[in-house]
Amino acid sequence: MSELEKRIRNKSLLSKIAKPEDTLQYFKETEKRTLNLGWSGFTPVGYPKVVPIMLADYVEKNNLQGKWKFNLFIGASVGAETEDRWATLDMIDRRWPYQTGKNIAKAINSGKIRFGDKHLSMFPMDLKYGFYTKDNGGKLDIAIIEASAITEDGHIVLAGSVGTAPEIIYLADKIIVEINTGSPSFEGMHDIDYCRIPPYKKVLPITDCRQRIGTPWVPTDFHKIVAIVESKLPDNGRPLRGTDELSQKIADNIMHFFLDEIKAKRLPENLLPLQSGVGSIANAVVGGLVDSPFKNLFVWTEVFQDSFIPFLKSGKCKYVSCTSLSLSSEGFKDWWENYENFKEFVILRPQYITNNPEVIRRLGVIGMNTPVEVDIYGHGNSTCVMGSRMLNGIGGSGDFERNSYISMLHTPSVRPSKTDELGISCVVPKCSHIDHTEHDVDVIVTEQGLADLRGLSPKERAREVIKKCAHPAYKDYLMEYLEKAEKKTGYAHEPQILSECFKIYESLEENGTMRFWNK
């Protein structure tokens, strides 16, 4: 018996085994209308590969670019060899709710792809409610799901991520399963419960990161499975971004803050469950926890990154609840070498649960995310560069910033432009686009320092942000702007000079630097 046949424990489904090209028949209706597709995956892990790649090859070979187009609904981003290649072949009409990739971002910002940005906790719910597919009765035409196995009862055991896969499987008229025999099975790591429609929603009874409330497989009507395809392709996981000196300074500021909060008895000695975003700062924070005095730490987050592996090995991290093992190829090698130990301390849940405001608030999560920029009053921009150009999407940052016990935004104080190494200030008078309002942000951190904004009025916040977080090259300008705005508005609640607050962006567009006073 082949490894694929072993993974299909419902033997009535063996007749559904097919080659990738055999599934082409299910996609040809796109010649008449745009099909709604749901994929598994969350970050470049657990996403279908062989069928999307086969479809891309078919479109390219038959010059169907722009003729075969699909609406893609996926929990978050997936591998560049699939959706980013689809973007180059003009195969995507609509895409929700988050993406990463040079070509797909280019297509979004040129108007070729209609992209919708949504909080990751809300996307599975809105999908289940039928908001995105009103023209199709709220249904998805086809789900393409990467799996580890199929149970005796025909339920799908997912691979290295969960994301929105449970809702996609529920909504799809047809299901194509890619069983990845190139990786060991992830069976036993999942805790699956999909969202329900009001008035039948239920309480999520999670009071501890380690609690299980669902099943280790996705409840599936296996009669909807039309094909099972074998895959041996690895996840095109994101490589570990190293920690630089600047990121380390930000992490050090956060570690000192935690110690002060413990002394003030606002945090217990083992802190509270931690959420960490992605990137070099997030890695530095996790690395700082490995070397910190904190013990018995818990993590409630979206993605398990490479930096969590030494965190687990250190013994200081007791448990991680996430929705995706977002590891590099090197990270997965380490993961599988230590799997028997790690699997006892990591659980994979749907993003509907990992990002759920109800659970985040109950657990008292400490949320830490990196924005594009912040402004002096504490607003944050996580999505649109210069107010217009979509980067990736809001992801889960809004879920955690609004609902965490302590909501933190960490960013470098400046970034280089093409002509000025200090050309872009990440602390501005007024954000060019706002995803996180001042009402949701408690703490702002840069390599310059940490501004604790809790309990402060807007003008107090502004002075604290400028003093603690702004780069010296911009500090005087920002303070002068604040004082001028106060006088001009009669010391209004949150003073802004609308004719001047975006002047630094105009300077960046025209001169390549925000330092318009330094021409």
Q: Where are the domains of the chain?
A: 3-231, 245-518
Contact (CB, 8 A) for 374 and 380: yes
> Cα separation of 428 and 419, whole Å?
19
pLDDT of the residue at 195: 86
Cα angle 64, 66, 71; round to 5: 110
Instruction: Give the model's pLDDT for residue 279.
Output: 78
| pLDDT (mean) for 416-432 | 97
Tell me which residues are annotated as active site: 302
User: Is it the case that residue 434 has pLDDT exceeding 80?
Assistant: yes
Asked whether the predicted pLDDT for residue 241 surpasses 80, the reply is no
Does the pLDDT value for residue 432 go beyond 80? Answer: yes
Tell me whether domains 3-231 and 245-518 share a fold. yes
Bridge partners (DSSP) listed for residue 329:
none
| Residue 48 preceded by cis peptide, ω within 30 | no
Please tell me the predicted confidence (pLDDT) of residue 519.
Answer: 62
Is 111 a residue whose pLDDT tops 90? yes
pLDDT at res. 298:
98
Q: In CATH, which of 3.30.420.10, 3.30.1300.10, 3.40.1080.10, 3.40.50.970 is domain 3-231?
A: 3.40.1080.10
Query: In this predicted structure, what is the pLDDT of residue 278?
Result: 80
Lowest average pLDDT, out of 153-167, 221-235, 243-257, 362-376, goes to 243-257
Q: Taking the model in full, what pTM does it have?
A: 0.96
Run of H or E residues at 53: helix 50-61
pLDDT of residue 271 exceeding 90, the answer is yes
**Vertex 184 angle, CA 211 and 151, to 5°:** 65
Q: Which two tokens stand for residue 497?
A: 């000079």
Could you tell me which residue, 277 or 434, shows the higher pLDDT? 434
pLDDT score at 325: 95
Taking the CA atoms of 252, 433, 324 and 160 in sequence, report the sign of the dihedral they define: negative
pLDDT number for residue 356: 98
- Answer yes or no: is pLDDT of 242 > 90: no
Average pLDDT in the chain: 96
What is the average per-residue pLDDT within 173-178? 98
Are 326 and 238 a contacting pair, CB within 8 Å? yes
The answer to whether residue 243 scores a pLDDT higher than 80 is no
Mean of the pLDDT values across residues 501-518?
Answer: 95
User: Other CB atoms closer than 10 Å to residue 60's CB: what's the count?
Assistant: 14
Cα distance between residue 251 and residue 15, in whole Å: 54
Q: How far apart are CA 159 and CA 351, in angstroms?
A: 15
Which helix (H) or strand (E) covers residue 173, if one does? strand 172-180
Confidence tier at 44 by pLDDT (50, 70, 90): very high
Nearest one of 8, 368, 389, 359 to 193, comparing CA atoms: 359
| Sign of the alpha-carbon dihedral angle for 42, 45, 51, 57 | positive
> What span, in angstroms and rounded, lies between the C-alpha atoms of 495 and 497?
7
pLDDT at 469 over 70: yes
Examine the pLDDT at 59 and tell me if it is beyond 70.
yes
Supply the pLDDT for residue 409: 97
* Position 283 confidence tier, pLDDT thresholds 50, 70, 90: confident
pLDDT of 173 above 70: yes
Rounded to whole angstroms, the Cα distance separating 499 from 139 reads 47
Has residue 240 got a pLDDT over 80?
no
Q: By percentage, how much of the chain surpasses pLDDT 70?
A: 99
For 312, the token pair is 């687990």
Domain range 245-518, CATH architecture: 3-Layer(aba) Sandwich (3.40)
Mean pLDDT value of segment 223-233: 98
- The residue-averaged pLDDT of 23-33 equals 96
Q: What is d(CA 127, CA 171) in angstroms, rounded to the nearest whole number? A: 9
